[in-house]
Amino acid sequence: MNNSPRARRIKVEIAYDGGPYHGWQVQPGLPTIQGVLEEIVSGIEGQPVEVAGSGRTDAGVHALAQVAAFTIQNPIPPANLCRAVNRLLPSTIRILSVEEVDPRFHPRFHAKAKVYEYRLARGEICSPFEWPWVHHYPYPLAEDRMRELARAFEGEHDFTAFAAADKKDAEKDTQGHSKVRTIYSSELITEAGRLIYRVRGSGFLKHMVRNLVGTLLEAGKGNIGDCSALPTKSGPTAPAKGLFLVRVEY
């Protein structure tokens, strides 16, 4: 009779303030979301545990509902695990839900869509209690042109011009990885003194959403002539602190 503990695949939903962290992915000597979670879950399990995320949010980017998963043998019930991890986490990271899932579940490869939101504060004065989570832009913008361009992002496109280049991306490109992505919806919403860009897509490249926002701002400033089609060049990358991962769909 085999009494060895059964391996359990655990799916978690996480909210975090990305300001104090150098992004999701583990980096030696730097605080990251993945690094903090792995340290705590490994301590509970009593051996190293890898926590896989649905994607890598950049340094300073926030999440309302990031999804991650890991495999443990500890028989602790999901509700108790949620409480135990939250007791050990810093206040800038919180586990929202915990559930046991199919052992084959992967939060990245099984994701069908992701939703991001970028928040622009439009008032002349930005409260210090809002400042860490918005990009303050009180200057005139032609919002009708921005909305037209936002609609042009929808559909299947090659977003190479909107992706940040790094060594890892260059290696992936040589292996034939495509930078074609499908944007299901792309819209600008005015809400309580904020201009919010909300985008839902099949997946996103490094800095892609922030580059889309930078391009929208260029359109709002009148620096893009044709707002009915995807530009061939990206605008400046918008600051990380205004960006939120809203949800991951499966």
Q: What is the largest CA-CA distance in the chain?
A: 73
User: Using H for helix, E for strand and C for coil, what is the string for the chain?
Assistant: CCCCCCCEEEEEEEEECCCCCCCCCCECCECCHHHHHHHHHHHHHCCCCCCEECCCCCCCCEEEEEEEEEEECCCCCHHHHHHHHHHHCCCCEEEEEEEEECCCCCCCCCCCEEEEEEEEECCCCCCCCCHHHCEECCCCCCHHHHHHHHHHCCEEEECHHHCCCCHHHHHHHHCCCCCEEEEEEEEEEEECCEEEEEEEECCCCCCHHHHHHHHHHHHHCCCCCCCCCCCCCCCCCCCHHHEEEEEEEC
β-pairing, 8-16 vs 62-72, is: antiparallel
Q: Is 173 a catalytic residue?
A: no
Catalytic residue among 17, 58, 169, 226: 58
Task: Name the burial class of residue 122, with classes exposed (0-12), middle (13-18) and buried (19+) by CB atoms within 10 angstroms of its CB.
Answer: middle
Task: Report the alpha-carbon distance of residue 161 to residue 183 in Å, rounded.
Answer: 15
Amino acid 233 reads K
Residues annotated as catalytic (active site), given as ranges:
58
